[in-house]
Amino acid sequence: MTLSIVACPGQGSQTAGFLGSWLTEVQGFRSELEKLSSASGLDLVSLGTTADDAQIKNTAIAQPLIVASSIAAYRTLFVTTSVRGVLGHSVGEFAAAAIAGVISDSDAMRLVVIRANAMANAAAEHPTSMAAILGGDPSEVALTVAEMGLQIANHNGAGQLVAAGEKSQIAALIASPPVKSRVIELKVAGAFHTHYMDTARHELAEAVKEVEVLDPIMQLWSNVDGQICNSGQSFLSSLVSQVTSPVRWDLCMASLPEEQFDFIELPPAGALTGLVKRSVANANPIALKMPTDFERVIK
| Active-site residue set | 90, 193
Sheet holding 283-287, edge to edge: 219-220, 85-88, 4-8, 261-265, 283-287
The contacts found for 21-28 with CB under 8 angstroms, 24 or more apart, are 21/290, 21/291, 22/48, 22/69, 22/72, 22/73, 22/267, 22/291, 23/48, 23/49, 25/291, 25/292, 26/73, 26/76, 26/77, 26/291, 27/76, 28/75, 28/76
CA 189 to chain CA centroid, nearest Å: 15
Pairing of strands 261-265, 283-287: parallel
How many residues belong to the chain? 299
Residue 143 exposure: Cα atoms within 13 Å on the Cβ side: 7
- The DSSP call for residue 117 is H
| Alpha helices (runs of H) in 184-247, residue ranges in sequence order | 198-208, 232-241
Picking from 2, 15, 5, 1, the residue whose alpha carbon sits closest to that of residue 269 is 15
Distance from C-alpha of 61 to C-alpha of 68, rounded to nearest angstrom: 11
- The β-bridge partners of 165 are 129
- The DSSP call for residue 49 is T
